[in-house]
Amino acid sequence: MTDGLEPEPAAAADLFGEHIAKGRQFTEALARHGEERGLVGPLELPRLWTRHVLNSALVAPLLRPGRVGDVGSGAGLPGLVLGIMRPDVSFVLIEPMERRVAWLERQVDELGLANVEVVRARAEEAKLKGALDQVTARAVSALRTLIPITAPLLRPGGELVLMKGAGVDGEIGAAEKAIRKYKVHDAEVLVLGEGVVSEVTRVFRATVG
């Protein structure tokens, strides 16, 4: 057990299923090294499971076998959590900051995630245009600026799976121009985890092209 880390919530084993050992390994590594590496603030340890790891884990059932990009993975949220939970999906974690990339690569190695690749780049400069089936992102930017950097990575008919806060409806209103420009359609807001975790996760899901 790592000092200050929230005890593992009951929902963790249910959500991770057979992958719970790796879920614990990643969460404990983040609790141990996250602060010194500037990945999570000290105040996050008592809510690392619920607010960060389980919140990310709730997205796993939305993914389909194929190639999924996680833009701005940072500490590996949601990319590494999803990589652990969905070995049937190929992930590419797109992150520009060198020390975060080093962390992600080390975790991929230590967790033995053969399905996860790390690319050091800003999304708009990554050589992945039109290459992905789905794109995830969490806490990167508002939809107005997030859609222009994520939508071009998708193949026609690919899907945005963007984790958002309670202000998502306002973000959608402000993103109208980008939604039209990037041919974003069939958009919906999913509320995940009600009755399962203390903080629900909202996802803006939409098809592009």
Ligand X SMILES: C[S@@+](CC[C@H](N)C(=O)[O-])C[C@H]1O[C@@H](n2cnc3c(N)ncnc32)[C@H](O)[C@@H]1O
Question: In this structure, are residues 15 and 58 in contact, taking their beta carbons and an 8 Å threshold?
Answer: yes
Strands 67-71 and 132-138: parallel
| Residue 77 annotated in ligand binding | yes
**Shorter beta-carbon distance to ligand X: residue 69 or 158:** 69
| Residue 124 annotated in ligand binding | yes
First to last CA, the chain: 47
| Residue 21 annotated in ligand binding | no
Max CA separation in the chain (angstroms): 49
Residues 100-129, interacting with ligand X (CB under 6 A):
100, 122-124
Which two three-digit tokens encode residue 23?
A: 């879920």
Q: Cα separation of 70 and 161, whole Å?
A: 9
- Write down how long the chain is: 209
Q: Is 72 in the site for ligand X (CB under 6 A)?
A: yes
Out of 30, 71, 81, 146, the residue judged to bind ligand X by CB under 6 A = 71
> Which segment (27-35, 58-66, 81-89, 95-103) binds ligand X by CB under 6 A?
95-103
Binding-site positions for S-adenosyl-L-methionine read: 72, 77, 123-124, 138
Q: Which residues bind ligand X (CB under 6 A)?
A: 71-75, 77, 94-97, 100, 122-124, 138-140, 149
